[in-house]
Amino acid sequence: MADATKIQLGVCSVTYKGVDLGHTIGGVTVVYSPEYHETSVDQYGKSKVEKFLVGESLSAKVSLAEFTIANLQRAINQGTLVGDDAVSMGSNAGKRASLNAGLLLLHPLNAASNDTRAYDVAIYKAVVTNELSIEFKNDGERVLPVEFDGLIDEGRSDGNLLGFIGDSIS
């Protein structure tokens, strides 16, 4: 039976490596993408008889509204915080993005006070991999567009290698 009380709306907090990244603009989008190899056999022509999972990805797109040096450093995976007021960039090729990976936790702000983790989305080993474009203009806020990509966490079990949606980060 339909239940209108299960319709959800609202924004979420964004916490990366235990730090709240502040306000967002334009919402947060989480994308889970499985990739399959399709198999067909002569007997059935081009009809599919099976699909085998060959990979998965989990990502989150966020536009950070709080344009700070600390958030700027988080938005540049290989960037280096210089003191409290600058971020340097430009590294030798071959650096591992995973060295800067950390837990990304998205928590719905409208969750009931006794339901503090319901419908959370977590990416265990999230890294920022997108290019960064910063706009300076009169008619809009300066935001930091950040895309977090999940890397496999080999310390976890099959079916739980990238992240979760729900109420547990175990």
- Identify the CA nearest to 128 among candidates 63, 50, 47, 56: 63
pLDDT of residue 170: 52
- Identify the CA nearest to 26 among candidates 69, 70, 64: 64
- The token pair at 116 is 């503090």
- Identify the CA nearest to 142 among candidates 42, 65, 41: 65
- The token pair at 158 is 């099959």
- Euclidean distance between CA atoms 142 and 149, whole angstroms: 23
Q: Where are the alpha helices (DSSP H) in the chain?
A: 69-75
CATH of domain 4-166: 2.40.30
- Identify the CA nearest to 148 among candidates 10, 14, 9: 14
Per-residue pLDDT of the chain (170 residues; tens, 9 = 90+): 998 887 888 899 999 999 999 999 999 999 999 999 999 999 999 999 999 999 999 999 999 999 999 999 999 988 888 888 999 999 899 999 999 999 999 999 887 555 667 789 999 999 999 999 999 999 989 999 999 999 999 999 999 999 999 876 65
- The token pair at 41 is 């056999």
- Euclidean distance between CA atoms 110 and 90, whole angstroms: 40
Q: What is the pTM of this model?
A: 0.90
